[in-house]
Amino acid sequence: MQVKLKYKDRLGELLVMPHISPRSRLIVVRRIARICNSQWVETREYFRELIKEAELGLPFTTAKLKKIDAMRSEARSQHKATSYQIGQWIYENDDLLTKLYGFDGVCEVLEVNPVHRPEVLEYAEDQHRAIAAVAFIAGMEESASRQSGRQRPDYKDGPLFNVFMDMMIKAMKENRASMPDPTAPGGPLYGLPSYTMQADGSMVMNTPAVTVHSADGSKVVASKPGRRNGPVTPSKVATLFANNENVSRHEGGQT
C-alpha cells in the first residue's frame, strides 16, 4: 500500500507538469484512476473484515462498530472525491483529446482491440467524445487484454468506467427531479411491475392501467394498490362503455 501511495504521489506531480502532452496527461490520469480503484477494493475488504470481527462481540462492541463505520464512510468519501476529480477532468477534456488524436488515437491509449472499434462506433451517440464512448457507453476499455472473442465478460469494467459510474450515480442523486421516469413508456424499466408500501409495511403490486376503446373514444382506467374488489381487468372495465370495441393494456392510448 505504501508503494502505491508514493507512486500515486509521483503521478500527481507528473500530472501538473506543463510540458507533458495531453495524450501523456490522459495516460497519467488513467493510471491514477486504476490505483484509486485498486486501493478502494483493498480498503473496502479491510473494513468488511473489521466489521465482521466486531459483530461477533455484539452487543458489547456497538461503540466499536460505530467507530469503524465512521472510518469507512470517511474513506469512501475520500475515494469518491478523487474519482469525481478524475471524472471532471475527463469530461472537460474528452472533446479536445478526440480532436487532437482522433478516435483511433484515443482507442490506442485506452487499449481497445482494433476488432472491437467498429462496435464502439456503433454504440457511440457522440463520436466527438471518444473516451466516454469507449470506457462507459461501449465498455471496451482494455478490450485488447480483457476481452477475447470467446470469453467476453458479463459486465463492464475498467479504471475509467468506474469513474464514469461514480459520476453518473452522483448526478442521479443530486438531480433526481431532472431524471426521466424509467418506468414510463419508452423507459428502460417500462412494463416491469411496481409496488406500493402499505401502512403496515407490506408491499402491494400495482395493477397495470388499461385503456378502453369504444366508438365514443378512449379512456384510461387504473386500479389502486390493494383494492378490495380486486384489480381492474379488461372484462370489468368493458362495462364502462355501452359500445365497447377494444380493451387493451395502456400503452400511450394505442391498440
What pLDDT sits at residue 149?
56
What pLDDT sits at residue 185?
72
Neighbours of 115 (CB within 10 A): 11
pTM of the model: 0.66
Report d(CA 204, CA 194) in Å as an integer.
9
Would you say how long the chain is, in residues?
A: 255
Residue whose cell numbers read 382506467: 221
What pLDDT sits at residue 255?
41
Is the predicted pLDDT of residue 62 greater than 70, yes or no?
Answer: yes
What pLDDT sits at residue 16?
67
Half-sphere exposure of residue 30, counting CA atoms within 13 Å on the CB side?
A: 20
Biggest CA pair distance of the chain: 80
pLDDT tens column, 190-248? 777 777 888 887 888 777 666 777 788 887 666 556 544 444 444 544 554 444 444 44
Is the predicted pLDDT of residue 13 greater than 90, yes or no?
Answer: no
Mean pLDDT lowest among 62-66, 106-110, 150-154, 193-197:
150-154
Residue whose cell numbers read 493510471: 31
Domain boundaries, the chain: 2-178, 198-249
pLDDT tens column, 141-183? 888 777 665 566 677 888 899 999 999 889 888 887 777 777 7
* Continuous H helices in the chain: 2-15, 22-55, 62-109, 117-123, 130-132, 143-146, 159-174, 234-237
